[in-house]
Structure 1
């Protein structure tokens, strides 16, 4: 924008300078020619009057004295065919002047001025003044050079003024863009310093107001999520007390373990909701975890339920550490959503497989496949990735959680068909930030 404004002003200034300086240069040239011809005309008219009264010798001496200068050269054509002064041919122009005409004409090397005159006997004579081209244009080159230098100076000044003006517009715009990018990265405390023209100041104030509203709304949303999660603690506590009263110690320990796992998940939700309310701008690029460790722990947890429902589990987990750009809590939620979908949407006894391997470009690839009914085709099943879309009576958030986690890490998620003919979900997790 800054360069375009400067270019626009330079182009406009150039057009204005050309529109004024070209006619001015032509005017200077015309004035110089008129000045030189006027001096020649004065001398020619003087000698046309002198021919009628002065002695021929006096005329000859006067002409020689005038011809000593370089401004113009005089030639007098007498009625008897002789000439006085600068030697010159008797041309058609001279004959025309002898017949009573006074005029100027272009000739090689300059211009000539011809004036009709009469000698002392009343016969027709002619006075010719030849003005060289260098005399006609004397001082024109210098004047044009001054005009060009003036144009260059004016163009430079206009470019400087345009650059200052563009800077006053571009700098506030750049600052507004920087604040917008900071807000997009999650730095909700970022604010613009309104500067520049009134319109840009209004935009800065509007952006600050919008950022404040976003921060307020997000704070309310996070507090609401945290409050809702906190309300679950009461029924969890009651459920834990009921589990302690079970007669079978083994069943009591199992139920207590499930309750403790649920309580841990609720606590993580509360901490995550309140921890992000500070608006410190922390992004997924600044967190990392060992995917091998997290996936192994979650598979170990779900394997107990798999044994109870007679499901065969195939595991192919790469040894750690296998660092990915995801926080441990987010990866736990993603893995639980994928494995939970297997138990929720397939019949008991359906086999499933979990594979984890390092990605060639860094990070990891997690594959969860089952022997269920699948998505009804790879292409038609793509809709299940949209939040809220589900045909199984669920909330439709499970796959969306996994997808958002994968995309936040710099990876992605895709659906397909497993070797058993069921569903296969591939999650690509990006590598952690080098810092």
Structure 2
């Protein structure tokens, strides 16, 4: 917005300055020509006085003094065909002025020409006694003061343009900075450490937007609090019937049926606890969750390292990331997904089977791979589908891992591992 405003002001001011300064420069040149014509008229009068009362030698001295190369050239042309000055030659206009006795002003190439006949013998003098004063006025060029005037106009235009740009920059900053502060504040709203409300600042529209955002945040807080309360209340309501069912199950005479129903109740109890924990996660993680994928991977590999040593497995962690890489998924979710994959390795491969957890960047994704040297997957098994498993499990493990990868803007892929077994790859989009 700030750059666009500056560009718009620059284009507008430049067009206005061109519309003003170009005609003004042309007008100044016209004024310079008018000034020369005025000075030339005065020189004609002065020269006429000198010619009518002095001899040719005095006239020559006077003309040498006034013909200083300032764009005005004065010449006196006598009836005998001679002349004194820089342009002694005659033409038809000079002869016409001498014969008629009338002064004239003509336009010539590059300027104008004054022709003024001077009577030496009174009113009855004929053309043969009348010299003609010719004053040639050249149009002002770059050698005159007009160049300095044009440079002054150019400098004035540059100063005005720079002043307009500075003003536009200050105006744009007064809009952009409050919006940036508001955007940064909105970006921190979903984090666990809730930022302090911003003081009202900026234009009226920005202040209205800030007020609306505060109302929206308050409403969301109320809704989240109600949701957590409802989930907690639901969990407490479920505890009583679940306890009653457990007592009834324990009173069953058939031990097989009792064990099966007890396991189902344990799963139900774990599910309720998981729902309550998920509902309360926003209290300490915030609405927007993220974690450092490298830190979580290193921590979980270290956790499983003790079991790997007990089973004589070579469990390694390899990474090419030299700095933290946040991904848009909760720390607990990513840890649970990696635990599911490693648990499959430890549960479905023989003891002593090697495994490698690698973390690397691939263009705009982060790849978290778990390779094992086990037997791999049986053909035709869709282990990422809920409720489907080829190894006697519930089939929820890799399905949960795939869901976690999708939450982070990626996917889960199962391919053959270079170690000879299975490769489980979670592609995650950096946050």
TM range (shorter): 0.5 to 0.7
- Where 1:74 maps in the other structure, the secondary structure is strand
Q: Deviations over 1:5-31 (max 9, x none)?
A: 112111211111111111212222221
CA distance in 1, matches of 2:152, 2:205: 42
State the partner residue of 2:186. 180
CA distance in 2, matches of 1:321, 1:47: 106
Is the contact made by 2:77 and 2:88 (CA closer than 8 Å) also made in structure 1?
Answer: no
Unaligned 5+ runs, structure 2: 308-312, 320-326, 341-347, 350-354, 361-366, 387-395, 416-423
Q: Which moved more, 1:269-278 or 1:183-192?
A: 183-192
Pair 1:262 & 2:268 matched: yes
Q: Deviations over 1:227-246 (max 9, x none)?
A: 22232211222222223334
How far apart are 1:63 and its partner, in Å? 5.8
CA distance in 2, matches of 1:63, 1:136: 29
Q: Which moved more, 1:198-207 or 1:117-126?
A: 117-126
Unaligned 5+ runs, structure 1: 298-316, 337-352, 376-381, 386-396, 417-425
CA distance in 2, matches of 1:400, 1:271: 20
Change (3 A) 1:34 1:218: same
State the partner residue of 2:135. 129
State the partner residue of 1:363. 368
Aligned counterparts, 1:38-117, within 5 A: 38-48=38-48, 54-57=52-55, 61-62=58-59, 64-69=61-66, 70=68, 71=70, 72-100=72-100, 102-106=104-108, 111-117=112-118
Change (3 A) 1:333 1:226: farther
CA distance in 2, matches of 1:146, 1:117: 43
How far apart are 1:326 and its partner, in Å? 5.8
State the partner residue of 2:19. 19
CA distance in 2, matches of 1:203, 1:111: 69
CA distance in 2, matches of 1:270, 1:405: 19
Is the contact made by 2:370 and 2:425 (CA closer than 8 Å) also made in structure 1?
Answer: yes
Among residues 141, 145, 149, which one is paired with 1:143 in the alignment? 149
Change (3 A) 1:404 1:147: same
CA distance in 2, matches of 1:94, 1:136: 30
Is the contact made by 1:230 and 1:266 (CA closer than 8 Å) also made in structure 2?
Answer: no
How far apart are 1:410 and its partner, in Å? 5.2
Among residues 223, 234, 259, which one is paired with 2:240 in the alignment? 234
Aligned counterparts, 1:271-290, within 5 A: 271-277=277-283, 280=286, 283-286=289-292, 288=296, 290=300
State the partner residue of 1:406. 405
Change (3 A) 1:111 1:103: closer
CA distance in 2, matches of 1:186, 1:158: 44
Change (3 A) 1:33 1:293: same
How far apart are 1:163 and its partner, in Å? 0.7
State the partner residue of 1:161. 167
CA distance in 2, matches of 1:68, 1:144: 30
Aligned counterparts, 1:203-352, within 5 A: 203-247=209-253, 252=258, 255-277=261-283, 280=286, 283-286=289-292, 288=296, 290=300, 327-328=331-332
CA distance in 1, matches of 2:357, 2:196: 37
Change (3 A) 1:334 1:136: closer
Is the contact made by 1:63 and 1:74 (CA closer than 8 Å) also made in structure 2?
Answer: no
- Where 2:107 maps in the other structure, the secondary structure is strand
How far apart are 1:60 and its partner, in Å? 5.2
TM-score by length of 1: 0.67
How far apart are 1:46 and its partner, in Å? 4.5
CA distance in 2, matches of 1:234, 1:62: 132
Is the contact made by 1:32 and 1:140 (CA closer than 8 Å) also made in structure 2?
Answer: yes
Q: Deviations over 1:251-283 (max 9, x none)?
A: 656654543443233223223312313564562
Q: Deviations over 1:84-110 (max 9, x none)?
A: 4445211344234334451143357x6
- Where 1:363 maps in the other structure, the secondary structure is strand
- Where 1:75 maps in the other structure, the secondary structure is strand
How far apart are 1:158 and its partner, in Å? 0.9
Change (3 A) 1:269 1:329: farther
Is the contact made by 2:192 and 2:282 (CA closer than 8 Å) also made in structure 1?
Answer: no
State the partner residue of 1:379. none
Is the contact made by 1:403 and 1:427 (CA closer than 8 Å) also made in structure 2?
Answer: no
